[in-house]
Chain A
Amino acid sequence: MAVEAQLERLGQWLLEAQMGVELVLLVGLSTSLSHAFALLANRLTPRQIAVRLVLDALVLALAFLLASTIDLILLAVVTEHPVSPGDFLNGMGVALMPGLLYGLVAAPYIADLVALTLWFLVHLNVVTMLHLRFALPWPEALLLPTPGLVIALGLVALLFRQSWQESYRQLAGQLERIGGIAR
């Protein structure tokens, strides 16, 4: 009975946080797309690439949800007022919106700059949201989402640890094996 009640409550939260969850999924998809060329570099088939992109998008969305949950728990510990998870997730979804442009990280050479800017904007949004919506003072609002951010960054880096170099080493080996040029 208790489990049923808990599940019902979870379902209600998810319904309340529909917008936030949808946005997080979209950000996950955009982040996944930024790495599409890594899949091409590894010469996967179009079907494998599509499956991999969707799976990566889901895993990334989960990573963002996990980071948001950590922020929510820390917020519940710090603040005395009760925090509605639905409201919080909706707020986080909106704060993550710059991440919708994460696909642009695929751009050559400026990728690091784009990624850094987007992560900075997301963090700034979260800090501002905590300050304005939950009345946290600026220093606390700045510190509180940091563990969540670090975990999200770590998870994205872990997922994107593709074997670029592996495929390129094979490439170099292929050139070396021809053993020189002949007519």
Chain B
Amino acid sequence: MTIRSGVRVQVRGERRRIHLALAVVLIGGLLAALLISQRLRGLLLATLNAAELRMVLICGGSALLLLIPIAGIVSLVSQYAFWEGWLAGFPDVECLRAESEVTAADSVAAEAETPPREAANGASTQLFVVYLDGIHQCESDHPGPISAFLTELEQQLPQGTQLLRGLDTYTVMPVALAEDRGGSWFWRRLFALQEQHPSGLVLLLASVLVQANNVIKVGISSDRRYGPIRHYQLALKIGLRLREHGFRTAASSELVLLGYSGGGEMAFGVADYLSRMVQVPLHIISFCGVFSGDHALERVASISTVVGDRDPVAAFSNIAYPGRTPLLPFSRWRRALAAGRVQRRCIRGMSHNGAHGPFSNRYRQAVVDAVLDLLPVLPGCAPAAAQE
């Protein structure tokens, strides 16, 4: 039954991808036809003269050029609404305060009441791995292939290691996109439309809009003016989640941020603030990571990246972010590289997503193996092989 439902989910996912691909091809074809076909051009010119057509193209292009920065600015408003304390419902940073500030008696009582949560494999947690998803994320539940990947990883984690998944990486509040302050009215309507009319075009539109929204968040994170606000907010979210899962500075040894794609940028961005907050060694592992390399990395214990040699997105981020290029040898990323602080693993043939992506059946285990290999080895965390 489980296998059948798994297959059904996979088939549905495949079908959705085919629909999306078809919609992309259709739109691309239509645009090409508009540009190339003499007949269509003739038709258009019969309706509009050449000057009007040029005007329409210029106006459309200008509107698009204006729309992109305006969307970014609108997205910033919610970040600063949080920062100014206008958004109620986000717990104060003080609620995370460590035992040192609590009286000794309270501390003992708290210890007795809330022992550290046990990891899935039964041992007391020594190592917490926090998964930060890519820009497709719109809710806490991960899509099928990612869930399968995380489950596989979780099963093979060393003893005393706990994986935290389902963190809303791109929203302002610790909730799904459809419930986030500011844009919830829009996202709810869009997702309702998606459920009522699950056509390829609507699915494509929803997917593009979610990704555009999350790309803007990645942009905010990469911007040295606005990034710190975003990272502070994400550090609080991770801190709260860690506390829910029994993390305590005094009892826990280390923390790993595992970021996929845009989640890599979030991991690099949040690392400095989070390490100040948790006060335990913090490691970053990014796979197919897209990150600016312009973040403070001095406090990070280790940095590792896993990339596919056919990953165009990760390769593009090497060019898109000046801090990653050899042109700026004194950027934080280049200095970390030069100091030998970055471990790199390359998986041959792996792409960014889809049938050759890290969550595909073909490469899933290779990525899991690479991540397991890159995890810090702690005295209390026996490797998975040793457990068997």
**Would A106 and B249 count as touching, CB distance under 8 A?**
no
The answer to whether B273 touches A40 (Cβ under 8 A) is: no
Task: Give 1 or 0 for each of B213-254: 1 = CB within 8 Å of chain A CB.
Answer: 000100110111110110010010001001100111110000
- Comparing B33-41, B97-105, B184-192, B324-332, the segment that makes contact with chain A is B97-105
9 shortest interchain CB distances as A-B pairs: A180-B249, A107-B69, A180-B98, A109-B219, A107-B72, A104-B69, A168-B228, A180-B279, A179-B98
Residues of A within 8 A of B80 (CB): 37, 40-41
> CA–CA, A181 to B76, complex, Å?
28
Contact A174 B69 (CB under 8 A): no
Partner of A40, one of B83, B98, B243, B247: B83
Residues of chain B touching chain A, judged by Cβ–Cβ distance below 8 Å, are: 66, 68-70, 72-73, 75-76, 80, 83-84, 93-94, 96-102, 110, 114, 216, 219-220, 222-226, 228-229, 232, 235, 239, 242-243, 246-250, 272-273, 276-280
**Is B226 a contact partner of A180 (Cβ separation < 8 A)?**
no
Beta-carbon contact of A175 and B226 below 8 Å: no
Residues of A within 8 A of B216 (CB): 108
Tell me whether B248 and A181 are in contact (CB under 8 A).
yes
A residues 127-183 touching B (CB-CB < 8 Å): 164, 168, 171-172, 174-176, 178-183
Nearest opposing residue in chain A for B279, CB measure: A180
* Cross-chain contact of B220 among A40, A108, A178 (Cβ < 8 A): A108
* B66 contact from A104, A179, A183, Cβ within 8 A: A104
Q: Which of B76, B97, B246 contacts A106 (CB 8 A)?
A: B76
- 19 other contacts beyond A114-B69, A171-B228, with CB at 8 A cut-off? A38-B225, A104-B70, A107-B68, A108-B222, A108-B223, A110-B72, A164-B224, A164-B228, A168-B228, A172-B276, A175-B232, A176-B276, A178-B93, A180-B250, A181-B278, A182-B96, A182-B110, A183-B110, A183-B243
User: Binding site of A, secondary structure by majority: helix, strand, loop or mixed?
Assistant: helix
Known: A107-B73, A182-B99, A182-B249. A164 touches B225 (CB 8 A): yes
Within the complex, what minimum Cβ distance (angstroms) separates B112 from chain A? Answer: 11
Subset of 16 A-B contacts with CB under 8 Å: A37-B80, A107-B68, A108-B76, A109-B223, A111-B223, A111-B225, A114-B69, A164-B228, A171-B228, A179-B101, A180-B99, A180-B277, A181-B242, A181-B277, A183-B110, A183-B114
Given the complex of chains A and B, what is the CA–CA distance between A104 and B101 in angstroms? 45
User: CB-CB < 8 A to A175: which residues of B?
Assistant: 93, 232, 235, 273, 276-277
